[in-house]
Amino acid sequence: MAPSPIDPANEDTLTRAADILRSGGLVAFPTETVYGLGADARNDKAIARVFAAKDRPSFNPLIVHVPDLAAAGALGEVNDHAVALAERYWPGPLSFVLPRRADSGLSLLVSAGLDTVALRAPAHPLAQDLLTRFGGPIAAPSANRAGEVSPTTAAHVLESLGDAPDLIVDGGACMVGLESTVVDLCGDRPAILRHGAVTREQLERMLGSVDDASVPESGQAPRSPGQIAKHYAPSLPLRINATDPGPDEAFIAFGEPGGKNAAVIRSLSPSGNVIEAAARLFALLRELDRPEFTAIVVAPVPETGIGRAVNDRLRRAAAAHED
């Protein structure tokens, strides 16, 4: 059996991780949102390996991770909105889509043919440490095969990608547990392309009104390729906003358990906290995605704060089985 690519986060592991990135390899590492599958963002071959490992449609561009706004400015055309948001929310779970600089040196594949680039400064100390040791931009989509829910532990990464990463840096469970908010700052009006931990209300407080482009209007091409409805899906069908699980179904409650007939009952947050729910969502979907159940039934989650991002992921996971 091949040795496991998982290693605990320590000096040696992080030094090795930076070396692997420099030689064009793939390193999965924790961020505060989810685990990323990292590669040198300037190396076409390394980026091509990321797409291959994820089995990702190559039209779906990757987020490039940087230590801070100064580093972002070398890659994208930073504007006033980006400066204001970075001062408040970076490092943190917020990605900006900006016009890509002609002299960015980024692999064209990172942007999948678009003339824009998504940039994020992650808050996780291990991600920051890796960025410092590597000394360059790290492209990192979530470290899962395309269409699966994002990994929030090193074991999830292994489950999903096997030994495709040369190294999986184990930094424990991710605090936020959902992917970053993606906001498009290229136009006159900022637009949310993906909901996440930084909420629409928080963005509007800084920027004034913000468009919600997270669900493309019918007949319109998505502004963000990752918006396609089918995404983040377990293999079992999902019933959402439901409190009536049957005896063959797994139930995910929010707050008080309920759902007494279910084969198994879990709760996103026994105390009814949406932040805790976000942090537990993907791990619970993975845990319950087993053939002995016929479906996963999820109780309603309040549409407030990060609850909107939780509901967004749940709707997409449910839509994956509609046709």
Q: Is 142 in the site for Mg ion (CB under 5 A)?
A: yes
Q: Which residues pair with 115 in a beta bridge?
A: none
The H or E element spanning position 131 is helix 125-134
Task: In whole angstroms, give the CA distance from residue 313 to residue 148.
Answer: 11
Q: Does 317 bind ligand TXA (CB under 6 A)?
A: no
Taking CB under 6 A as the criterion, which residues in 53-112 touch ligand TXA? 60-63, 95, 97, 111
What does the DSSP 8-state code read for residue 296?
A: E
- Residue 95 partner contact from Mg ion, ligand TXA, none using kind-dependent CB cut-offs of 5 to 8 Å: ligand TXA
CB closer to ligand TXA, 185 vs 299:
185
Nearest-CB residue for ligand TXA: 226
Task: Say whether residue 140 binds ligand TXA (CB under 6 A).
Answer: yes
Closest separation in Å from C-beta 141 to ligand TXA: 3
Interface with ligand TXA, residue 306, by CB under 6 A: no
CB of 177 to ligand TXA, least distance (A): 10
User: Nearer to ligand TXA by C-beta: 90 or 293?
Assistant: 90
The tokens describing 31, both together, are: 């961020």
CB neighbours of 227 closer than 8 A, spacing ≥ 6? 193, 194, 213, 214, 215, 216
Q: Is 116 in the site for Mg ion (CB under 5 A)?
A: no
Closest contact distance (angstroms) between CB of 64 and ligand TXA is 8
Among candidate residues 4, 17, 26, 314, the one with its CA nearest the CA of residue 164? 26
**Stretch of 174-182, 242-250, 292-300, 302-310 lying at the interface with ligand TXA (CB under 6 A):** 174-182
Q: Which does 182 bind (CB under 5 to 8 A by kind): ligand TXA, Mg ion, none?
A: ligand TXA
Binding partner of residue 62 among Mg ion, ligand TXA, none, CB under 5 to 8 Å per kind? ligand TXA
**What DSSP state is assigned to residue 108?**
G
The token duo for 106 is 């980024």
CA angle 298, 37, 14 (to 5 degrees): 120
Q: Which two tokens stand for residue 251?
A: 């139930």
User: What is the enclosing helix (H) or strand (E) of 19?
Assistant: helix 11-22
Output 76 or 226, the one with its CB closest to Mg ion: 226
34 binds, among ligand TXA, Mg ion, none (CB under 5 to 8 A by kind): ligand TXA
Q: Return the exposure string of 215-245: e unless at least 16 CB atoms fall within 10 Å of the residue's CB, then b.
A: eeeeeeeebbbbbeeebbbbebbbbbebeeb
With CB atoms as reference, the residue minimizing the distance to Mg ion is: 142
Which of ligand TXA, Mg ion, none is residue 117 near (CB under 5 to 8 Å by kind)? ligand TXA
Nearer to ligand TXA, 129 or 179 (CB): 179
Count other C-beta atoms under 10 Å from residue 80's C-beta: 9
Q: Is 179 an interacting residue with respect to ligand TXA (CB under 6 A)?
A: yes
Nearer to Mg ion, 13 or 150 (CB): 150
- Nearest distance from C-beta of residue 55 to Mg ion, angstroms: 12
Residue 34 as a binder of ligand TXA (CB under 6 A): the answer is yes
Q: Supply the DSSP symbol for 212.
A: E
Please classify residue 79 by burial: count the beta carbons closer than 10 Å to its beta carbon, then call 0-12 exposed, 13-18 middle and 19+ buried: middle
Q: Residue numbers of the site for Mg ion (CB under 5 A)?
A: 142
